[in-house]
């Protein structure tokens, strides 16, 4: 009887082979993904469980029409609540009312727009919204995703009882590698198990904190858990930069740009995520956003800081009286610099370049301001603003940023 059950399981594609059994081709396909932080959109922050085929198609259309695709956003990710049940063989089923054409047809439509489709599941018996989880069906689900044409999987950590996170995510990683299609693997265990210390060879990005909310400062207490503001999450990134790099990224959660914060707060949030080399996964209503929101999300010069091929996460150089100065080394010898004002009043900042030296042991780079002159580019004003030959003296608006690109003067 046991032999018959095993045979049926293998026929439906759920035989679990060890990670070491991966072919060189499978390993190469997986390793070449996410060489820069993934960019795209996810349904949860704005729509929660109210997802549908129509929403995904409209979002894909909008991302093409409003320039987001051309700015680098390629993943259209469906979060929780797309799935409702399993069939008699255990295959996961999409909600037939909300996704009447099926997931393969939806993936084909998204691909026809020059975009990629992502889906969501959970390592436990149930997802966070109570839908069927993947526990016990990892290899079967991975084969379904590959057959549909899925390009990205966000894998959550609700209802996992006493599961070992390392083992659970390693199992899903092995399943994806054997599924026959390159799929970006996003670990969403909220930083509870310090995935950054063990997930480099398992997935492409891992959550470092609990869920974000559309607030600039503070937290929101939900009783049994708390959602975190953009700045609260920023503070929790300290000490993690050495774990990030091409193909493996710290994920401080999805963007809340366009979801209710002020424009200046959105601008600061987006800038700091770019300085962190974080995945840029928008979470707003793409089809109905304001011109201000669109301008933030499609600022190609700020995006270039995030997507820089060197893949080094920025470092906090100084912090005093709620004013922080950050630097990020870039691939061609440039640097990014951000002055973040977290206060509710404008702050005057003076930075004498020749008296400062920024040295980054992680990248082995240093600015050498005393002997090297850089031209300054204001990334939000879209203009050149002098050079490091003179001290920087600026007033940074409340809860806002000054973002500069420093180009070595030839």
Active site residues: 156, 211
Cβ neighbours, 10 Å, residue 280: 25
Q: Say how far residue 75 (Cα) sits from the centre of its chain.
A: 10
Burial class (CB in 10 A: 0-12, 13-18, 19+), 176: buried
Which strand (E) or helix (H) includes residue 375?
Answer: strand 374-378
CA distance 325 to 309: 22
Q: Tell me the three state secondary structure of residue 341.
A: strand
Q: Say how far residue 123 (Cα) sits from the centre of its chain.
A: 19
φ/ψ region of 72 (left if φ > 0, alpha if ψ in -120 to 50, else beta) reads: left
Strand partners, 340: 324, 401
Contact predicate 140/12, CB 8 Å: yes
Q: Which two tokens stand for residue 47?
A: 């729509």
Q: Which two tokens stand for residue 265?
A: 């707060």
Long-range contacts of 214-222, Cβ-Cβ distance < 8 Å, separation of 24 or more:
214/45, 214/256, 214/259, 214/260, 214/261, 215/261, 216/261, 216/262, 216/265, 216/268, 216/269, 216/399, 217/342, 217/399
């Amino acid at each position: 009887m046991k032999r018959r059950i095993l045979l049926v399981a293998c026929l439906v594609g759920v035989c679990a082979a060890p990670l070491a059994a991966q072919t060189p081709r499978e390993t190469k396909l997986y390793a070449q993904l996410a060489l820069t932080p993934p960019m795209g959109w996810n349904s949860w922050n704005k729509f929660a469980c109210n997802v549908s085929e129509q929403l995904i198609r409209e979002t894909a259309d909008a991302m093409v029409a409003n320039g987001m695709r051309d700015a680098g956003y390629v993943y259209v990710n469906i979060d929780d609540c797309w799935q409702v049940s399993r069939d008699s063989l255990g295959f996961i089923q999409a909600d037939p009312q909300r996704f009447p054409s099926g997931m393969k047809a939806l993936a084909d439509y998204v691909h026809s727009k020059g975009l990629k489709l992502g889906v969501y599941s959970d390592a436990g018996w149930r997802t966070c919204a109570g839908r069927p989880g993947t526990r016990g069906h990892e290899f079967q689900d991975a084969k379904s995703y590959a057959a549909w044409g899925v390009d990205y999987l966000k894998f959550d950590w609700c209802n996992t009882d006493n599961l070992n996170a390392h083992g659970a995510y390693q199992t899903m990683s092995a399943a994806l590698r054997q599924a026959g299609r390159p799929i970006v693997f996003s670990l969403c265990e909220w930083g509870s198990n310090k995935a950054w210390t063990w997930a480099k060879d398992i997935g492409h990005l891992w959550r470092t904190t609990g869920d974000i909310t559309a607030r600039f400062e503070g937290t929101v207490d939900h009783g049994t858990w708390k959602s975190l503001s953009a700045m609260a999450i920023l503070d929790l990134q300290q000490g993690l930069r050495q774990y990030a790099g091409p193909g493996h990224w710290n994920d401080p959660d999805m963007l809340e740009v366009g979801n209710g914060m002020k424009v200046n707060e959105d601008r600061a949030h987006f800038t700091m995520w770019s300085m962190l080399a974080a995945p840029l996964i928008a979470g707003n209503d793409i089809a109905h956003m304001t011109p201000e929101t669109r301008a933030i999300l499609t600022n190609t010069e700020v995006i270039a800081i995030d997507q820089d091929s060197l893949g080094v996460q920025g470092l906090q150089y100084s912090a005093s009286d709620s004013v922080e100065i950050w630097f990020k080394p870039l691939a061609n010898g440039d640097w990014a610099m951000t002055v973040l004002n977290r206060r509710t009043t404008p702050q005057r900042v003076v930075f004498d370049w020749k008296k400062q030296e920024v040295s980054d042991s992680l990248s082995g780079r240093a600015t050498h301001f005393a002997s090297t002159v850089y031209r300054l580019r204001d990334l939000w004003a879209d203009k050149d603003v002098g050079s490091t030959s003179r001290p920087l003296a600026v007033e940074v608006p409340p809860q806002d940023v000054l973002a500069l690109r420093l180009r070595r003067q030839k």
